[in-house]
Structure 1
Amino acid sequence: MCGICCVVTLCSQRAIHDFFNEDILCHLRRRGPDSSQQLIKTVSDPSYECLFSGHVLHLRGLMTPQPLEDANNNVFLWNGEIFNGVHVGPLENDTEVMFHHLASCGSETDILSLFSSLQGPWSFIYYQASRHSLWFGRDYFGRRSLLWQFSNEVDSAFCLASVSGYFKSSNQWQEVPASGIFKIDLKACATTKSLSLMLFPWKYSCTEKAVEETFVNVLDRVSKDLPNHIRLMMNESKLCLRAPVIPLNKTIPEASGECPGTNISNIIHTVSVETLQGFLAEEHKKKLVHQFIDVLNEAVKRRVLSLFREDDQKTREFPTLCNRKAHVAVLFSGGIDSMVIAALADKHVPVEEPIDLLNVAFLLKEQTKQKGTTKNHTNRDVQLDLLCSQESYKDLHAKTATYLSGFDVPDRITGRAGLRELEAINPSRTWNFVEINVTPEELKRMRQQCIKHLINPLDTVLDDSIGCAIWFASRGEGFIGNQGELKPYKSPAKVVLTGIGADEQLAGYSRHRVCFKKYGLEGLNKELEMELDRISSRNLGRDDRIIGDHGKEARFPFLDEDVVSFLNSLPISEKADLTLPRGVGEKLLLRLAAREFGLTASTVLPKRAVQFGSRIAKLESNSEKASDTCSRLKLFSVDEL
């Protein structure tokens, strides 16, 4: 994880300082606390100036400060992880590996081939000195944030950065679209004193006809959000990047309204773990489940082992558990996505190393809390409440226990139940269940101080709820149980695993059921295709900025290229069956996988979004809609402008 930034000006010296001020420097340093450096390149003929700023969070290989510069004056900024496609040795740093490969590229085709081969999240900025070219972009899914901001037409300057700063300006930050890789010919732009962007788009097929269609669609989509004085054009050679995943299989069974398993749904009245066993008795289904387990297991393995561990972690004999620290954390609700990730991480994280389970809850006002405990309280929630909640605070002082019970939100209850399942699977592991309790006062204060600037340029009520919940969860400051007591704890883990991508691919959201009822499997296929197409702008840039603010790196196993390709290869009927009840039909394939490697009650928990499970959505106005512009995220009041 790194914070990267580049400011380019074609005219005024003042423009660099307009973009690169103390505020944005502070935000970048929070992302990369281990090293911070700046480099300025001034070119007189043609006249332009570039500032490069790199801030490193050291996670693998040797510590490598950024920006990197070679003997030919090329400059490289990298915020990414190579998990496959390009070899990175155990002691190598992927920033240096990438820079070495880029320096040996002799053409645009070579550069595109290199980035097409990568597996893993990335954003980058590369200055090719001999050709006065600036290359930049994000990976196919947009798992790493990169923003751009353009000055007015007169100044001819722009900025690229992992995160925005405070600017009292009409020129807004926007996310660089994850539509391909961009290139700017700085020599030509300096001559004309105007900015032109060249795009090399992602495409499944690079045939001439397919490329023509892609160019038209992508140009329209990207151009509409650019300032009028910024020109966007396709590269003259019609070159493109090869998409790292295969297209979605849209095959529909002949009985078009049904999925395999519909006959079972007619006799299912009560959802239970045994319900899943009936599916696993079918040989074809079981084989498919094991293929999915294998590919997802490998994705988690890459993400928990590709990180630096101190020398003392290499000593495996008679470890002193109390002195061990966690290197891996999971955003943990006890739901099926986080349970699967935690259970698979357990297979690869060294056994003497704790795993932190980060569970966030927002304190409710008394009247709200009482409503929340009666409304939509399913039998399964009641069972989990009886299992966990009553004995959670039995050894605490009565006043303290009463206060903490205000944080017994749904995700806290299912989280504790999930902890018990994980302890049953591996009792020798130290599972740090971190109870992260947020009061309305702290939420308001931290949203104002930093969270809203990280969510920017997104601005909806939904972005506010999810962004705030993830920020507090990934910060990892809370309490862990220790011999009947709750003790303060702050997670030291630099890697944070998150389950995003499971719902988008396996029909996990309630809107997928609505779509299925209205339009059948054909409509559901279109909805799922759209989910992955928009995940970069809807979720991932925001989540990367939020988690990165704590000097931690978000990693997304469900968005591993091999996982996505495997799921894309299957017809929807093999992944979900929305004729079945909630808690089984959505994400059916994942539930079966979880059951197969030993999970129990969590395998039949219905989907519950973090804003509802953590109860943050209950703290604000009930009249708000998720898609409304959120007034709490406004960066400046009218008086400040």
Structure 2
Amino acid sequence: MCGICCMLVLVPQDDPVILGKDMLENLQRRGPHCSQQLSRVVPELGYNCCFSGHVLHMRGCLNPQPMQDGQGNVFLWNGEVFGGIEINPEDNDTQIILQHLSSCNSEEAILSVFSSIRGPWAFIYYQPSTHCLWFGRDYFGRRSLLWQFKNPCLTLASVGALSKYINAPWHEVPAKGLYKIDLQKQCNATSLAITWYPWKPMSSDDESVSHREAQFIEDLPHFVSVFLNESKLYLTAPIIPMNCCIPDPSIDQKYSVTNLDICLSDENRKKLVHRFIGVLSDSVRQRVLFLPRNQNPSDSAARVVNSNQAKVAILFSGGVDSMVLSALADRHVPPNEPIDLLNVAFEQQERKGQRISKKKQKQSNTSGAPEKECIEEKTAFNVPDRITGHCGLKELQIINPSRHWNFIEINITLEELKEMRQLRISQLVQPLDTVLDDSIGCAVWFAARGTGINIINGEMQPYISNAKVVLTGIGADEQLAGYSRHRICYKTSGFKGLVNELEMELSRISSRNLGRDDRVIGDHGKEARFPFLDEAVVSFLNSLPVWEKADLTLPRGIGEKLLLRMAAKELGLSASAILPKRAMQFGSRISKMENHREKASDKCIRLLQNMVH
């Protein structure tokens, strides 16, 4: 995880561009290990660039950013290479990618490099020899990149800052390909032309793609234009197209049963489940294995301390997504290393007539006031995700009793929610602004911060998770029909409607979820990783007909995400395998804290009032 930024000024000036204090602080929070800035003033062409890089060191040698090569090319990289380009565990991926780019002498060669990469990324690349500025995000948009147009300036950044310029809002760079600005062709800062190189699906022909226009660009100022590149060049999409087969309605569904064990009794279905476990397990392995472990231990004592600290944390509700990720992480994280399970709950105000049970009152009366306060506190944070989280912890302890599972109870009061939303979260969620964005953004920010309580030797003790990798289950519901709207779609439009809905879910995940979650998790100097969105996992699921992934004729807790539920069962997870889907905003009860009457799609007043001074 890194914080990257480039400010481009399209008017001649002698002094280098300087980033604002708030912007620098936001970027430094993402990359706490190393910060550096670099300016390029080109008076003959009338432009000025400021590059700012802030590094969270994850593997290989620590290399400051912006990184330069011998030709003067400048590279800012926020990503992880998990395949496609060979990178050894001791290598620095920023350096390797720059080496590949340095040997590129054409647009086609640059596109080939980024088409090859498997893993999340956002980048900015400046070529002084051609006076071109390249930038973009990976196919799913797993890393944030924003742009802000304020004539005569363009700013690209991992995260924005609160702005006093109402007419210059931040927007997410669409995860639709690469973009290039030819700085030799910009005319007196009266207009800005951006060339677009889109992703080309593996099954599409050039003709069908070449007719697409950049209509996905919304709300850009009048002086900015985005054009499809004249050479009709494309990046190759890293996943195969979705299998859109529809079953013959005259054939009964073979697996329409109400018991996961009966499903798994079919040998073909069981083989499919094990193939899925294999590809998902490999995705988790890549995301938890090659991390800084026991680096520079000066003595044996340092090694002992280091081995007792978790390097991997999981956003944990006890639901089937987080349980499967936890069980697979257990396969690959070193056995003597703890795993942090981050479980967030928002305080529930006692309603009129609500009382603590007589049993709890009796316990508190006989045990004294301090324990009474503890009981009341537990009651206030006894939200659904806390309950299922504790149950999930017990299942994991049965699967591997020797693993040290840190179950972190993260309890957030209304006062702290309001305070941190104003100080940090609102500017991280921007440019998204709905009630749903507020709820999810706040819940994920507090969870990723990892400040809570851990039960150690039977005692509740304060705990702060220092794990730099945070696994999240985003992508499971979108691919395996996990949302209630998928049931509605299936009921009204059948398999055809469901397939179309799932295709749409995956195509819009970058703008709905991933940039936001990358920004809020990265604010703690931690890196979000998304095993369900690994290219191999997505291609595997795309290869399957929809009825192999979900059976929405079955009840909640079985039919949605059926393939994942069977995988959970095979991994030894029984109770969590059949838990119905519960969205994070409901499971953590953040949606119940402030305004009960809001709709998820409404504009969130609490966010908007903080976004612009």
Q: TM-score range by the shorter chain?
A: over 0.9
Correspondence 1:226-625 to 2 at 5 A: 226-255=220-249, 259-262=253-256, 264=257, 268=258, 275-311=259-295, 324-367=308-351, 370=354, 397-625=371-599
Partner of 1:383: none
Output the CA distance in 2 between the equivalents of 1:76 and 1:358: 34
Output the CA distance in 2 between the equivalents of 1:600 and 1:70: 54
Structure 1 residue 221: deviation in Å?
1.7
1:79 alignment partner, SS class: strand
Partner of 1:10: 10
Output the CA distance in 2 between the equivalents of 1:555 and 1:630: 27
Of 321-330 and 102-111, more deviation after overlay is shown by: 321-330
Are 1:83 and 2:57 counterparts? no
Structure 1 residue 192: deviation in Å?
6.3
Contact 1:368-1:618 at 8 Å conserved across structures: no
CA displacement, residues 256-300 of structure 1 (integer Å, 9 cap, x when unaligned): 7964422x2xxx4xxxxxx11100000110010011000000000
> Which amino acid in 1 is paired with 2:344?
V
Contact 2:51-2:66 at 8 Å conserved across structures: yes
Correspondence 1:122-271 to 2 at 5 A: 122-152=121-151, 156-169=152-165, 170-190=167-187, 193-205=190-202, 207-213=205-211, 215-216=212-213, 219-222=214-217, 224-255=218-249, 259-262=253-256, 264=257, 268=258
TM-score (norm 2): 0.94
Contact 2:131-2:182 at 8 Å conserved across structures: yes
Output the CA distance in 2 between the equivalents of 1:517 and 1:307: 45
Structure 1 residue 234: deviation in Å?
1.0
Q: Could you list the runs of 5+ residues in structure 1 that have no partner in the other structure?
A: 269-274, 375-385
Tell me how many residue pairs correspond in the alignment: 604
Output the CA distance in 1 between the equivalents of 2:298 and 2:411: 34
Contact 2:3-2:78 at 8 Å conserved across structures: yes
2:373 alignment partner, SS class: helix
Sort the Cα spacing of 1:31 and 1:253 in 2 relative to 1 into closer, same or farther, 3 A: same
Output the CA distance in 1 between the equivalents of 2:172 and 2:353: 37
Output the CA distance in 1 between the equivalents of 2:244 and 2:16: 49
CA displacement, residues 371-428 of structure 1 (integer Å, 9 cap, x when unaligned): 9x99xxxxxxxxxxx9xxx99xx99823222222211100000000000000001111
Contact 2:12-2:48 at 8 Å conserved across structures: no
Structure 1 residue 225: deviation in Å?
2.9
Structure 1 residue 635: deviation in Å?
4.5
Contact 1:292-1:593 at 8 Å conserved across structures: yes
Coordinate RMSD, CA, aligned: 2.5
Sort the Cα spacing of 1:168 and 1:485 in 2 relative to 1 into closer, same or farther, 3 A: same
Output the CA distance in 2 between the equivalents of 1:71 and 1:568: 42
Sort the Cα spacing of 1:143 and 1:586 in 2 relative to 1 into closer, same or farther, 3 A: same
Structure 1 residue 620: deviation in Å?
1.8
> Which amino acid in 2 is paired with 1:472?
F
Output the CA distance in 1 between the equivalents of 2:250 and 2:421: 47
Contact 2:307-2:336 at 8 Å conserved across structures: no
Output the CA distance in 2 between the equivalents of 1:368 and 1:117: 59
Output the CA distance in 2 between the equivalents of 1:146 and 1:61: 24
Sort the Cα spacing of 1:354 and 1:165 in 2 relative to 1 into closer, same or farther, 3 A: same
> Which amino acid in 2 is paired with 1:25?
L
Of 230-239 and 203-212, more deviation after overlay is shown by: 203-212
1:360 alignment partner, SS class: strand
Are 1:40 and 2:39 counterparts? yes
Partner of 1:103: 102
Output the CA distance in 1 between the equivalents of 2:423 and 2:532: 32
Sort the Cα spacing of 1:321 and 1:523 in 2 relative to 1 into closer, same or farther, 3 A: same
Output the CA distance in 1 between the equivalents of 2:573 and 2:14: 59
1:199 alignment partner, SS class: strand
Sort the Cα spacing of 1:617 and 1:38 in 2 relative to 1 into closer, same or farther, 3 A: same
Partner of 1:60: 59
Partner of 2:29: 30
Contact 1:7-1:16 at 8 Å conserved across structures: no
TM-score (norm 1): 0.90
Contact 1:299-1:560 at 8 Å conserved across structures: yes
Structure 1 residue 67: deviation in Å?
0.2
Higher share in helix: 1
Contact 1:47-1:190 at 8 Å conserved across structures: no
2:453 alignment partner, SS class: strand
Output the CA distance in 1 between the equivalents of 2:322 and 2:575: 13
Sort the Cα spacing of 1:15 and 1:194 in 2 relative to 1 into closer, same or farther, 3 A: farther
Q: Percent identity?
A: 58
2:327 alignment partner, SS class: helix
> Which amino acid in 2 is paired with 1:557?
P
1:634 alignment partner, SS class: helix
Of 201-210 and 290-299, more deviation after overlay is shown by: 201-210
Contact 1:164-1:454 at 8 Å conserved across structures: yes
CA displacement, residues 462-515 of structure 1 (integer Å, 9 cap, x when unaligned): 000000000000000000001221100000100000000000000000110111
Output the CA distance in 1 between the equivalents of 2:585 and 2:597: 15
Sort the Cα spacing of 1:14 and 1:455 in 2 relative to 1 into closer, same or farther, 3 A: farther
CA displacement, residues 179-221 of structure 1 (integer Å, 9 cap, x when unaligned): 10000001111566421000000011463212224x23xx112
Structure 1 residue 13: deviation in Å?
4.6
Output the CA distance in 2 between the equivalents of 1:242 and 1:281: 39
Output the CA distance in 2 between the equivalents of 1:316 and 1:496: 28
Structure 1 residue 127: deviation in Å?
0.0
Q: Could you list the runs of 5+ residues in structure 2 that have no partner in the other structure?
A: none
